[in-house]
Amino acid sequence: MDAPSSTFRELSATLRLAGPVVAAQLAHISMSFVDTVMVGRLGPEALAGVALGHTTFFFLVVLGMGTVRAVGPMVSQAVGAREPNVAARSVRQGLWLALGLSVPMVLLLSGMEPILRWTGQGKEVTEGAMAYLWAVRWGVFPFLGFAALRSFVEGLSRPLPVTIIALVGVGLNIVANEVLMFGRLGFPALGLAGTGWASTIVFSCLFGALALLVHRMPPFAEHQVFARIRTPDPTYLWELLRIGVPMGTSRGIESSLFMVTTVLMGTVGTTALAAHQVALQCAAFTFMVPLGIGMAGSVRVGQAAGASDADGVQRAGAVAMGLAVVFMGATAVCFLLFPRSIVGLYLDLSAAENTPVVRLAIELLGVAAVFQVVDGLQVAAHGALQGLKDTRVPMGIAAVTYWGVGLTTGYFWGIQGSGGPHGLWWGLVLGLAAAAVLLVWRFQRQVTQLRSAPSGADVRVSSADGPDLGEPSPA
């Protein structure tokens, strides 16, 4: 098959897979947006409380989700190798891993109040955050279990059911918030606790719906995920942890880059923090697209690796990175050409008191235009490496670039130096750019090693792609 034809086929396959994945990502971020908007009706203290609670909860579950999503490369490589028993075993053990991670997370969330007070948060804000956390903590396992099943479904290149379920979840989240927060239909008004309970209900419904689909609908039912779940397998769980812990840690390191930058921005002043929040929200929303493309690229790379197709690995990774850069380049142009209109989505441009924030937010969107391109490239490259189960070196790259380059540069330029908010944002740009360069280099190095493997050798990057020991094969 000639190269242009192969590339076109890969492009088409990646777009078919990425479309529903991106839609699911946008649905998930919409839930947080809905929570913020609806809690805003309770007043500024409630909004501060849910912001603190949200940040605490999602920082922890993002670490867990990154770990559980090790199911994805395990399943996609098993699909490429035509080993359905290994794919089924991966998701079963992924569910056990989700349960095991949920226990310490629930305990930690239950005891967060002294930690929040130690950080200097106000009494009312801390109490509001804890009201939210006490309710939402019961949603940890459904959240992580959904991530495990989602990784399985997407690893089979069948992401549309996840998208439909996630979109329904957005509507359910609005209804549950309205009923539980404000006391509709005879329910008491629970305020921030109602937001937490609404999230727990939504996470549980999403997990239950996807579990039912996996159990009953073909082709997922053929793997008999729940019929053969049995008991945890320590050996296989260790393999998931070996791949997943670096994935989760990388996500945590990246999240901490933005968390700490936000805290530092608050030391500059209220105007800087407000403008930063507007620019960051814009970047976070558009980031969902390359993140979804990266997830699709991970599946495509994993399937090619499972089929021992080194050229396919190169093609899948290159297409995913190219798509991410093209999309983020288009959003960068929008940030440069229409910054005032974009800021106007968040702030009243006619209000005199908003003028300083609007002006600074427009300037930060100019920096974000550069930020967009390198952020899209690094997340797509990261996804391609996950498809090869290459997670430990990327974790090290994340630590060196996000903390060593991004935070250090932002702090000395923006806080110690004269850069201010702009210096902090250029720190983000330099950290993400360094990550993009090193992750692309790492992927190319892995591809070169795959191509140099002896003819007929298994190119999969793994230490546990053997037979499905301990469980009978599907009939």
Per-residue pLDDT of the chain (475 residues; tens, 9 = 90+): 456 678 888 888 888 888 888 888 888 777 777 776 676 667 656 666 776 777 778 878 888 888 888 888 888 888 777 878 888 888 888 899 999 999 999 999 998 888 777 766 667 777 888 888 999 999 999 999 999 998 888 888 788 888 899 889 989 989 998 999 888 888 888 888 888 899 999 999 999 999 999 998 888 888 888 877 777 888 888 888 888 888 888 888 888 888 788 778 777 776 777 787 778 878 888 888 998 899 889 889 988 888 888 889 999 999 999 999 999 999 999 999 999 998 887 677 887 877 888 899 899 999 999 888 999 999 999 999 998 989 889 999 999 999 999 999 999 998 898 888 899 999 999 999 999 999 999 999 999 988 886 654 544 444 333 333 333 333 2
Cα–Cα distance measured from residue 251 to residue 256, given in angstroms and rounded to the nearest whole number = 9
Same domain flag for 126 and 260: no
Where do we find the tokens 């397998």?
233
Contact call for residues 6 and 315 (beta carbons, < 8 A): yes
Same domain flag for 154 and 253: no
Residue 322 lies in a domain: yes
Same domain flag for 193 and 287: no
Residue 343 lies in a domain: yes
Same domain flag for 292 and 430: yes
Same domain flag for 214 and 189: yes
> Coil, strand, or helix at residue 61?
helix
Residue 240 lies in a domain: no
Same domain flag for 256 and 219: no
Cα separation values, 258 from 193, 202, 261, 424, Å: 27, 27, 5, 10
* pLDDT score of 412: 93
Cα–Cα distance measured from residue 389 to residue 406, given in angstroms and rounded to the nearest whole number = 26
Cα–Cα distance measured from residue 225 to residue 219, given in angstroms and rounded to the nearest whole number = 11
Same domain flag for 207 and 259: no
Structure tokens at 43: 């007043």
Residue 91 lies in a domain: yes
Structural domain tally of the chain? 2
* pLDDT score of 389: 86
Structure tokens at 128: 């509001």
Contact call for residues 454 and 304 (beta carbons, < 8 A): no
- This prediction has a pTM of 0.78
* pLDDT score of 47: 64
Residue 317 lies in a domain: yes
Residue 452 lies in a domain: yes
Structure tokens at 71: 């199911």
Structure tokens at 109: 């969330």
Where in the sequence is the domain holding 436, given as residue range(s)? 247-458
Same domain flag for 144 and 278: no
DSSP state of 217: S
Same domain flag for 285 and 326: yes
Same domain flag for 340 and 216: no
Residue 469 lies in a domain: no
Same domain flag for 53 and 182: yes
Q: With CA atoms as reference, report the closest residue to 136 among 191, 188, 198, 187.
A: 198
List phi, psi (to 5°) of 191.
60, -130
Structure tokens at 121: 């948060």
By CB atoms closer than 10 A (0-12, 13-18, 19+), residue 454 is exposed
Same domain flag for 209 and 343: no
* pLDDT score of 237: 85
